[in-house]
A and B are shown apart, each in its own frame.
Chain A
């Protein structure tokens, strides 16, 4: 009787094998995976640290602490190739005066004497200049209004066609009609 069970256990052999394989792969991954975060540590390149400071400014403008830490790290980094340290020091002074815009400009200028990542390979970013996010939300030009109007028209046309081409009977009506007919086949549930 099909009504006596919900889950059919035990499973047949191929299904058990498939499940065992999948669980095996999963457990292998579990065993191989360290539980803690993985990382390669702090960079000792001033150019990388300056870029990270700019990254914090552009992505988290209010995060003064992280920016200052990175600038300090850059000033103290053992490898200062490609960075104008005087400009980084000036950027630090600007940060101390809460002038984030000037700090960012100075940090970006400090890198211009040598681009740190040309011809990027693998997972290298290739980033030498960091721009602000390009966010055009909330500023509708004339063309935007035309596209908006066209989109609304498309929605209206689609909705009209959806009503026009709707099926003759809803599921509820079908259920009522089929229930009224002489019973033959068994119900699905």
Chain B
């Protein structure tokens, strides 16, 4: 009897779920899995996720801002009324405006905390000095966004903020010309600030954010100061476990989700107020809280105090990586830097408290 040889059967490939196959189709075309590059595990704690949370707040601001511009009237005669209309007559308008307001506060806070984290962990040191400068520039843009947003509601608080800004622009003479109403005499300045708020500032933040992210990818996540580094001292040790960057994104998204819920609670319990229509020639309001410390300086030395204070803070921030150039990253080994930072921080807190406690003087009249 002859045996019939059976052809060899190829081992059957494991069946993949429809979800996996669909994902592969998308990934082949969009290259999403390129984001799965490894990052050191310490990058997934809250402190090292603050930059991502700030970016998430930016997304929330863009999303809510897109809705708000549909109903906002950026003219002096109509701005305040249109904000009231959003609050009272647009379905979910009050909630969306509240989320926008609180997300702006949150973005300022998380950006400041991110800046502090980077400072305290020495993450701005070589080779990441350029990325620190990008971060400082973005922080400045966040403050500008807060300022222009305050003006746009066109109530007494916003108008007085604008008045201070115009005067500071005049102090700067040529350098502050854009902030002067004389720059385009026939156009209400609120229209130009509206353009800055909805186009110029977000586009600049987005562009710098992309650059910031690409530099983080290029330089890689900075090492944790209490963990070993590689031999260069600028990267995490290869012995430290890693996780895909997508896990970091997932972690950031989850933190942002918690924060979004908190913003929702704040919006319901503490909705932002729309003040009375602005009247020129009186000065009766406090600026938004991030500017309180400058307000005290203004009380002491006049309008130029805003200029001195703001310029001093940003010049210090810009100089940080060029002056503090040693390789030490742990805060305990950097007493001079820590002392200076503490002095600046305490000064800002004390000046802010004084703005609320002490009687304000009039500056614009």
Binary flags per residue of A85-126, CB closer than 8 Å to B gives 1, else 0: 000000000000000000000000000000001111111111
Q: A168-B41, A189-B333 are in contact. Are A131 and B276 (CB under 8 A)?
A: yes
Residue in chain A with minimal CB distance to B94? A136
Contact A148–B269 (Cβ < 8 Å): yes
Number of A-B residue pairs, CB cutoff 8 Å, is 304
- A125 lies within 8 A of B273 (CB): no
Interface string of A153-189 (1 = CB under 8 A from B): 1111111011001111111001100100101111111
From 1 to 49 in chain A, residues with beta carbon under 8 angstroms from any chain B beta carbon are: 2, 5-9, 11, 15, 18-19, 22-23, 25-26, 29-30, 32-43, 48
Question: What residues of chain B lie closer than 8 Å to A161, measured between beta carbons?
Answer: 254, 257
In chain B between 89 and 141, which residues have their CB closer than 8 angstroms to a CB of chain A? 94-95
* Most A C-beta atoms less than 10 A away, residue of B80, B84, B163, B243: B80
Q: Chain B residues near A167: list those with CB within 8 A.
A: 41, 44-45, 243, 247, 251
The answer to whether A121 touches B188, judged by C-beta atoms less than 8 angstroms apart, is yes
Chain B residues lying within 8 Å of A132, measured Cβ to Cβ, are 276
Given contacts A2-B328, A11-B322, contact A55 B307 (CB under 8 A): no
* Alpha-carbon distance A175/B185, docked complex (angstroms): 62
Q: Which residue of A lies closest to B319 (CB)?
A: A19
Bound form: Cα–Cα A22–B240 in Å: 41
Separation of A57 and B182 alpha carbons in the complex (Å): 31
Chain A CB within 8 A of B311 CB: yes
**CB within 8 Å of B: which A58-88 residues:** 58-60, 63, 66
B365 — which chain A residues lie within 8 A by C-beta? Answer: 39-42
What is the CA–CA distance of A92 and B363 in the complex, to the nearest angstrom?
27
**A153 & B171 in contact (Cβ 8 Å cutoff):** no
A127-B277 in contact (CB<8A): yes
A43 and B261 in contact (CB under 8 A), knowing A6-B335, A38-B302?
Answer: no
- Which of A23, A148, A187 contacts B315 (CB under 8 A)? A23
Q: Provide the main secondary structure of the chain A interface.
A: loop
Q: With A39-B365, A52-B282 as known contacts, state yes or no: A137 contacts B270, CB within 8 Å.
A: yes
Task: Say yes or no: B265 contacts A29, CB within 8 Å.
Answer: no
A158 and B255 contact, Cβ closer than 8 Å, known pairs A134-B88, A147-B268, A188-B233: yes
Distance in angstroms between the alpha carbons of A144 and B80 in the assembled complex: 23
Residue B217 CB within 8 A of the other chain: no
Are A2 and B327 also in contact (CB < 8 A) when A38-B303, A148-B265, A158-B255 are?
yes
Q: How far is the CA of A186 from the CA of B274 in the complex (A)?
A: 56
The number of chain B residues with a CB under 8 A from chain A is 113
- Complex alpha-carbon distance, A37 and B270, angstroms: 34
Q: Are A165 and B77 in contact (CB under 8 A)?
A: no
Residues of chain B lying within 8 A (CB to CB) of residue A58: 156, 276
A188–B225 touching, CB < 8 Å? yes
Contact A60:B284 (CB < 8 A) given known A153-B261, A178-B240: yes
| CB-nearest residue of chain A to B306 | A33
Q: Which partner residue on chain B sits nearest A124 by CB separation?
A: B76
Q: Which A residues lie within 8 Å of B225 (CB)?
A: 188-189
Q: Are B229 and A7 in contact (CB under 8 A)?
A: no
**Chain B residues numbered 235-290 whose CB sits less than 8 Å from any CB in chain A:** 237-241, 243, 247, 250-251, 254-265, 267-271, 273-282, 284-285
**A152 and B44 contacting across the interface, CB-CB below 8 Å:** no
Interface string of B304-348 (1 = CB under 8 A from A): 100110011001001100111111111011111100000000000
A60 and B286 alpha carbons, distance in the complex (Å):
12
- Cα distance A43–B363 when bound, in Å? 16
**Residues of the B chain whose Cβ atoms lie less than 8 Å from the Cβ of A60:** 284
A31 to B244, CA, bound (A): 53
Distance in Å from the Cβ of A68 to the closest Cβ of chain B?
14
Closest 8 CB pairs of A and B: A151-B264, A126-B76, A55-B279, A189-B330, A155-B261, A154-B261, A122-B181, A33-B304
**A interface residue numbers (CB < 8 A to B):** 2, 5-9, 11, 15, 18-19, 22-23, 25-26, 29-30, 32-43, 48, 51-52, 54-56, 58-60, 63, 66, 117-137, 140, 144, 147-148, 150-159, 161-162, 165-171, 174-175, 178, 181, 183-189
Q: List 27 A-B contacts (CB under 8 A).
A: A2-B328, A6-B328, A25-B175, A26-B312, A29-B304, A33-B303, A37-B363, A121-B181, A121-B186, A122-B189, A123-B166, A123-B181, A124-B280, A127-B278, A129-B277, A130-B276, A133-B276, A148-B268, A151-B261, A156-B261, A166-B251, A178-B237, A185-B237, A186-B228, A188-B225, A188-B330, A189-B333
